[in-house]
Amino acid sequence: FAKLWNAGVYGGQRTNYFNYSLSLTGFNADVGSPDESLTMTNVAPLFCYTLFWCSINLMVSKYCWTKWKGFRRQRLINLTTSLVHSTVTGCYLVVYPCRNTRLMFASPLHYYSHLETHLVLLSMGYFIYDAIDMLINDILNASCLVLMFHHISALYFLSFVLITHKFLLYSYWALLMEVQ
């Protein structure tokens, strides 16, 4: 067992498989504590992006659809905020593959950039905002529950980008659905 454990030689360098596997799970093997970078670099922007979408909703509700009343007005405000999200992510996601075609098709699994995760965080903030808005303002029916399931599953799968530092470009492909 000791020979197998210590025989981790790859490319002339020793690798410690125990530390590598723990680093994939988000734990620092040297200290034995959770990796704090996930919390510090992603939670604050996610909170700010959620507040950003709430402020977009407030601006739309103040300046748009003022002649409409009741549930129809609330629905139009929500659709306008959704249109803003689709426009922002759609414009970025149409330009990004054109500028980085080779990257999008050559190595989409392992590519990761902290700056480029902000589109994922922006979309996650929108999904959080919209889920809260639906819980507050919508009547629970089948279409509301389906949309809530969509938001929860999108948050779940987009969070894998932040946790694993992989799948960023796959998340871009998935976010292209929001353009429709």
Let me know whether 51 and 19 are in one domain: no
Let me know whether 9 and 61 are in one domain: no
95 φ, ψ to 5°? Answer: -75, -40
Let me know whether 154 and 141 are in one domain: yes
Let me know whether 12 and 47 are in one domain: no
Let me know whether 145 and 99 are in one domain: yes
pTM: 0.76
Residue 31: what pLDDT? Answer: 42
- d(CA 92, CA 176) in angstroms, rounded, equals 10
- d(CA 130, CA 116) in angstroms, rounded, equals 22
Check: CB of residue 85 under 8 Å from CB of residue 123: yes
Structure confidence by residue, pLDDT tens digits, 37-94: 555 688 999 999 999 999 999 999 999 999 999 889 999 999 999 999 999 999 999 9
| Residue range of the domain that includes 30 | 1-34
What b/e sequence results for 29-60 when a residue is b if at least 16 CB atoms lie within 10 Å of its CB, and e otherwise?
eeeeeeeeeeeeebeebbeebbeebbebbeeb
What domain count does the chain have? Answer: 2
Let me know whether 93 and 168 are in one domain: yes
Residue 39: what pLDDT? Answer: 59
What b/e sequence results for 83-97 when a residue is b if at least 16 CB atoms lie within 10 Å of its CB, and e otherwise?
ebbbebbbeebeebe
Let me know whether 52 and 28 are in one domain: no
Let me know whether 11 and 58 are in one domain: no
Structure tokens given for 5: 């454990």
Let me know whether 30 and 49 are in one domain: no
Let me know whether 81 and 92 are in one domain: yes
* Lowest mean pLDDT segment, chosen from 20-24, 85-89, 101-105, 173-177: 20-24
Let me know whether 79 and 166 are in one domain: yes
Structure confidence by residue, pLDDT tens digits, 91-143: 999 999 899 888 888 878 888 888 889 999 999 999 999 999 999 988 888 98
Let me know whether 2 and 60 are in one domain: no
